[in-house]
Amino acid sequence: MELKRVVVTGLGALTPIGNTIPEFWDNLLNGVSGAAPITGFDTEKFKTKFACELKNFNVEDFLEKKEARKLDPFVQYAMVSTDEAVKDAGFDFTQLDTNRIGVIWGSGIGGIKTFLEEMRNFFAGDGTPRINPFFIPKMIIDIVTGHISIKYGLRGPNFATVSACASSTNAMIDAYNYIRLDMADVIITGGSEAIINEAGIGGFNAMHALSTRNDDPSTASRPFDKDRDGFVAGEGAGTIILEELEHAKARGAKIYAELVGGGMSADANHITAPHPQGLGARMVMTNALKDAGMSTADIDYINVHGTSTPLGDISETKAIVDLFGEDAYKLNISSTKSMTGHLLGAAGAVEAIASILSVQNDIVPPTINHFTDDPDFDPKLNFTFNTSQKRLVRAALSNTFGFGGHNASVIFKKYEE
């Protein structure tokens, strides 16, 4: 069968450096750091006392107080970013076949704050299980797709994907496949995460995964820098509207870019550490290029996973050099996690949005906080350090790698008739 073409017609973002797409994109290009001391709980006894929290966000500006109380923050974030994306896409759902519009969402952890609060209340009591009836519905990851479908009356494919930090990229790939196989006309896809609480920060501290640069939080996320010491936790959501090309054209939709390929692979190496030679990373990029029918010479920008961890940054760049060869030195590479922090299950969606906007606007956002070169990295690679760079971006590849060895990549290119 002839596969359908899939385009991007709407975007929404709620991030540590911007609560809307325009604000997010402007701060990305200007190299703004979202890292600051944590305000949501007392960090006195924690090894890491900072994160990339949302700024100036009040959920009651978007949702009624009674409704918001029924939702874990990771669901609240999803509803807010999706509202922006739906408006951006210009949908009038009364004029569309909502049986062919679905929702596929990703989150790595889901309602961890809800779980923490309910257990805290339980153990503070007399042992009687006085559990909030919304406990389970607030916590489970797939509840996001349920809430979005109910709000807009969408009866198409509806489920969630979970693959740690690759979750929302996997969601995008599933959405892409449903549309190009003519099983849906539109999919609302993306990811959300809300782990900046005692359980989330304490858990990642116990793994020695987080930066502990408490004296200078704004520069703590420093991918590819010699003195990087771990990732910085982030929170938020990103929503991408994927739509079948002819369906989009028929309703006169604006088109940001075309999604042309997705790849997946497994490291099969270690539950948290990447393959030292980047074999899984090389394979996932190879698979994405094959799916897109593209060569390494067709890619101008890679939004790398680039978490600012000692091992992860090295393995990913090894994979890029190994796969791209001489074409690696023609690329721009950047890690927007240097600004947003690591949004875990939402990272793929937020970084895909950065990639889409890069393709649309022919500019690459920077990798900020670079101070000292690391001899382990090829000096001929262009990491777009500290300042955004204008260039023709015909196509961008976005990488996400998750605990468990899950790898997922997507490719966006300029839309052409």
Q: Which residues are marked as active site? A: 165
φ/ψ of 233, rounded to 5, equals: -70, 140
Tokens of 24: 């997010």
Q: How many CB atoms lie within 10 A of CB 417?
A: 4
Tokens of 170: 């996997």
Distance between terminal CA atoms of the chain?
20
Tokens of 408: 């997922």
Report the distance separating Cα 219 and Cα 371, nearest Å.
10
Strand-strand pairing, 301-303 and 395-402 = parallel
Report the distance separating Cα 27 and Cα 385, nearest Å.
15
Look-up of token digits 């503070």: 124
Tokens of 25: 């994109």
Q: How many CB atoms lie within 10 A of CB 128?
A: 7
Strand partners, 193: 236
Tokens of 166: 């690759």
Helix, strand, coil percentages (3-state) for the chain, rounded to 5, are: 40, 20, 40
DSSP annotation of 223? T
Tokens of 9: 């017609």
| Closest by Cα among 381, 383, 384, 386 to 371 | 386
- Yes or no: say if 320 and 303 are a contact pair by the CB < 8 Å rule: no
| Closest by Cα among 362, 40, 86, 355 to 199 | 40
